[in-house]
Chain A
Amino acid sequence: MSTATPAPGKPRARPSFYFRYLVEPYLYIAPAFVLIALVMLVPLVIGVSYAFQSVSLLRPFETGWVGTENFQALWSDRKFWLALKNTFWWTLGSIFFQFFLGLGLALLLNTRFYGKRLVQALVFLPWAVPTFLSALTWAWLFNPTIGPLPHWLAALGILSEPFNILGDPDLAMWGPITANVWFGVPFFAITLLAALQSIPGELYEAAEIDGATAWQSFTKITLPFLAPMIAITVMLRTIWIANFADLIFVMTGGGPANSTQILSTYIFTTAFRKLDFGYASAIAVALLALLLIYAVILLVLRRRLVKI
């Protein structure tokens, strides 16, 4: 009897140990891995590989690997650099106003006032509107024949006469940016409000007792607590906005004279108007690389600055 049972602490069977600790866990997560590979990695690899090929729907017999030819063409493509510059301004302009207005709104909604629930519901409304619809609505608002905005801007002295800023190459970008700010503020408001509500109230009480000013409690308590959320939401939104072509496409179609052409609208035109998927992929890869670099920088900064 005693010879049959192994001594305590000694593994009963080696093979089952290996199986349970080295193989079995991976089997459990295998479906997730397979799924991720199928829906994300495979298309990504195929997409990136297109960038090194000639893939044109109109010239089906001229396909094949072309090495870095597409990227060399990109380097000397004036439109690419123009679109890159526009992408930068479009993203920066949108994120700047979205973030600060969203933060202001979140701070406001974090206080108590009469009718707060109603205001809260209204604030989130833009998110319920399809982008296509909001783009159309904003495009009409900027149209002096039907919309009020040009007349208001002219009355305020911002415009010399009521004209459509979407038709002015120097001002056109402000049209989609305005629509995007309206559309994107709720996102920051929601996420920042959630973060604000998780800050313990005692901290503010303690600060008040110590005689801290409102500004001090904002910079010394609120901001440090919000910082991790700010870093992550700003990063996500930047990537999203840089890729977000719907509003621009509907409102200006990239015009006039390419003044609102951003990289993602340029990718779309190249792929579906010129039917040149190879070159479109090369632009997409360039955009991907830029956004990756940006994300890495932001994550490093976040680690440096956020001490939680």
Chain B
Amino acid sequence: MRGLIGAISALAIMASSAASAESLKLVEVITSPERTKVLQQQVEAFEAANPGTEVEIVSLPWGQAFEKFATMVAGGDIPDVVEMPDRWAGIYKDKLVDLNSRIADWEHGETLTQKTIDMGRQTDGKTVRMIPYGFYLRALFYNKKLLEEAGVGEAPKTMADFMAAAKAVSELDGKYGYCLRGGPGGLNGWIMMAATMNGNNTFFDENGKSTLNQPGSVEGIQFLIDLYQNGYAPKDSVSWGFNEIVAGFYSGTCAFLDQDPDALIAVAERMEADDFAVVPMPVGPAGKAFPTIGFAGWAMFDTTSNEDLSWKLIAHLASPEANKEWAKRVGVIPIHEGAEQDPYFKTEQFKGWFDTLNGDQYVPTVMPTYLEQFGYFADSIALESSQEALLGQISAQEVADKWAEFLTEEYARWKAAQ
């Protein structure tokens, strides 16, 4: 009897290890029906190319992804491969596999753009913890018709032009200059304006002190407050998130929108291609603009039982062909060199982003997502205090001081941990 039980359990162990050798768990955290469909197709192609492999896709809706994923990992239900947004990388960095040598041995490793490698290394500057699958870079959408009606000849090139154009459009009845994102996800706009007016996008000076309350940055923050308080942005834009600003733009309520390529999908569906275009963000007094750049990528946890297969999946998803398709359908800037030669990316709309990438006066700003509490800062502290500032409850200086204090403290903690 005991022999039988032993044999059965041995069989069971063999069976389960055989099964786990061939199955991977992939968690996606930024989800939409379209995205999940693309991912599913690419994963199916991977399964077909590797017979006997099964990839289970777990989709977490972005709204609750952060706490759900944290709970999953804390509870030991750790996936093999994960879609890692830049701002979470700092939290999970110690659990993610170093991909340096894998990329060096990879046939497509050579064509990855330098930016891609740099962003993959953002947690400590040395180790590639993830392969970004594309970039979200800010550029300025503008409504050609509205500008024409308001008598503005061309898209603004400087911040002063931008303010003047916003003012001119706002004089039209029921129209506004700027689709201000005062609600969720608004931090990028604030940081961008602060850096552009300050002429500098480093977050901390050599003493580890945040630059956000330097006089130039405060001017940038004041710039957005002025836009709102002078009525160049709709009154309820103080709580607008992504959907509202995009709707505000394509409905023709406001003439300017600063967004990533993912907004292009929704805008292009509802506006004639001739009615709008995208240009780089206006430059500040120093002649430079600092649009924020964000990303997410594929990473694997060190608890995976099959590192080789996990890497294979990541390599498959990040291959030039798969990535180009992903970039088109999800709305990001691709990660391999030469992708901009594709006709899809050669439109007047996409030009804004590639001009930004190629122009010397445009310096992409990477948010300090390596700070542990960055997510909390962006989603709670910055959100609430920036709304208070827009509504005139606190001044630009006060909000800048508050942010600088928090970030300086977090930076010191991060420094100490290095």
Partner-B contacts on A (CB < 8 A): 57-58, 143-145, 163-164, 166-169, 252-258, 261, 269, 272-275
Contacts and interface: CB of A to CB of B under 8 A. Distances in A.
A145 to B, nearest CB: 6
B66 interface: yes
A169 B384 contact: no
Interface string B217-251: 00000000000000000111111100000011001
Interface in B183-208: 183-184
B380 A255 contact: no
Of the listed residues A144, A163, A164, A254, the one surrounded by the most CB atoms of chain B closer than 10 A to its CB is A164
Of the listed residues B184, B375, B384, the one surrounded by the most CB atoms of chain A closer than 10 A to its CB is B384
Interface string B382-396: 011101101101000
Contacts of A144: 236
A34 B183 CA distance: 47
Contacts of A273: 66, 375-376, 379-380
Given A145-B247, A256-B387, A167 B380 contact: no
Contact of B373 (A58, A256, A258, A261): A58
Interface of B: 66-67, 70, 74, 91, 182-184, 234-240, 247-248, 251, 253, 372-373, 375-376, 379-380, 383-385, 387-388, 390-391, 393
B238 A58 contact: no
Contacts of A275: 70, 376
Nearest to B394: A257
Given A58-B373, A163-B236, A257 B387 contact: yes
A166 B234 CA distance: 13
Given A257-B391, A272-B67, A275-B70, A167 B237 contact: yes
A107 B253 CA distance: 47
Given A168-B235, A257-B388, 15 more contacts: A143-B236, A163-B235, A164-B236, A166-B236, A253-B183, A253-B184, A254-B384, A256-B238, A256-B391, A258-B384, A258-B387, A258-B388, A273-B380, A274-B373, A275-B70
17 contacts: A57-B70, A58-B91, A58-B372, A58-B373, A163-B235, A164-B235, A167-B238, A168-B236, A169-B387, A169-B393, A253-B239, A255-B239, A255-B383, A256-B238, A256-B390, A272-B66, A275-B70
Nearest to A252: B239
Contacts of A143: 236
Interface of chain B, main secondary structure: helix
B376 A274 contact: yes
Contacts of B183: 253, 255-256
A143 to B, nearest CB: 8
Of the listed residues A58, A163, A256, A272, the one surrounded by the most CB atoms of chain B closer than 10 A to its CB is A256
Contacts of A252: 239
Contacts of B239: 164, 166-167, 252-253, 255-256
A166 B91 CA distance: 34
A175 B318 CA distance: 45
Nearest to B253: A145
A164 B385 CA distance: 20
The 6 closest A-B pairs by CB, nearest first: A167-B236, A164-B236, A257-B387, A272-B67, A257-B388, A256-B387
A211 B232 CA distance: 67
A167 B383 contact: no
A168 B234 CA distance: 12
Nearest to A276: B376
Given A58-B372, A255-B383, A256-B182, A169 B235 contact: no
Contacts of A257: 238, 384-385, 387-388, 390-391, 393
A5 B174 CA distance: 103
B119 to A, nearest CB: 22
A255 B388 CA distance: 10
A171 B139 CA distance: 34
A57 B74 contact: yes
A58 B247 CA distance: 36
